[in-house]
A and B are shown apart, each in its own frame.
Chain A
């Protein structure tokens, strides 16, 4: 029996879909069976980020309306074994689906897959509630800025009321150079404020954009800092004890600054 994990944030555009695609792919690469469920009905994106859009025939709405069986609606990723996607309907609205229907789909999927990841839409309305309905655990994605952290705090409160536990955190788009200069909220400050466990930190990585353009999740292209960060999180999620490294800032200018202050 697998587990259902909702990936959510409150604020839009902080990296929920990117993280769902990469964590799912990473876990499949290390041998887990994974299904990614797009719960962003009407604004689906996960199929595009995964590069599977041309092969989507049925959606979760077709499963609910009994137009097809659940396993027929699952699109196989051809690059990794045991990784599938359940796409969201693009012609429906968030409230066309009921929490119980979402819950039912998740229950059935977790009997087959080790990990059921649900990519939540932004906001705290019906779409979010549907995404969380079938989940037993949550991963909060935030970027290190005031608005995203504020919204994350609100979402954490809502999830705690639904007894979703554990709720873990991924800090996305952290720029070590900016933190060092004092122009970005640091990892430790985010943790102090939100007070939940940290699963990992994903650096700002320009590779994410190219990978989205190509429809190939970043983790396929190992070596990039973002890919490595996602791989470490995936290993952590399978119970391996992988420490969270302090992010080094390899920017030339800041190296120079450190050198100066050491040698004065």
Chain B
């Protein structure tokens, strides 16, 4: 007989805490990341503008979650290419 079992009926609360934290932090880091996304979109547009002519306000970037990782999806529809 395992004497420890007598004292641990429920799932250990530290395991619950760790699991909750992992979920909370994933969400927190994602939200904070959205600010950086705006900056990235601005900087990418600036670089790409050297080579492409973009139609106004057509740029679209997003981050999608797939399982444990994220996918960066960027749409830069252009009307004309420059210097290519």
Question: Once the chains bind, are A150 and B14 in contact (CB under 8 Å)?
Answer: no
Known: A153-B29, A154-B32, A157-B32. A260 touches B17 (CB 8 A): no
Tell me the interface secondary structure of chain B in the complex: helix
The verdict on B18 contacting chain A, using a C-beta distance below 8 Å, is: yes
Task: Tell me if A223 counts as interface (CB < 8 A to partner B).
Answer: no
A131 within 8 A of B: no
B24 at interface by CB-CB < 8 Å: yes
In the complex, per-residue mask of A157-194: 1 if CB is within 8 Å of any chain B CB, else 0: 10000000000000000000001011111100100010
CB of B21 within 8 A of CB of A193, answer: yes
Is A210 in the interface zone, CB < 8 Å from B? Answer: no
Q: B-facing mask of A43-75, CB < 8 A → 1, else 0? A: 000000000000000000000000000000000
A184–B3 Cα distance when bound, in Å, is: 21
Q: Is B4 an interface residue (CB 8 A)?
A: yes
**B positions within 8 Å CB-CB of A:** 1-4, 7-8, 12-15, 17-18, 20-22, 24-25, 28-29, 32
Q: Which 7 pairs across A and B sit closest by C-beta, in order of nearness?
A: A182-B12, A260-B3, A189-B18, A185-B14, A182-B14, A185-B17, A183-B13
A-B contact pairs, 17 of them (CB 8 A): A146-B17, A146-B21, A149-B21, A153-B28, A157-B32, A181-B12, A182-B8, A182-B15, A185-B14, A185-B17, A186-B14, A193-B22, A193-B25, A260-B4, A264-B1, A264-B2, A264-B3
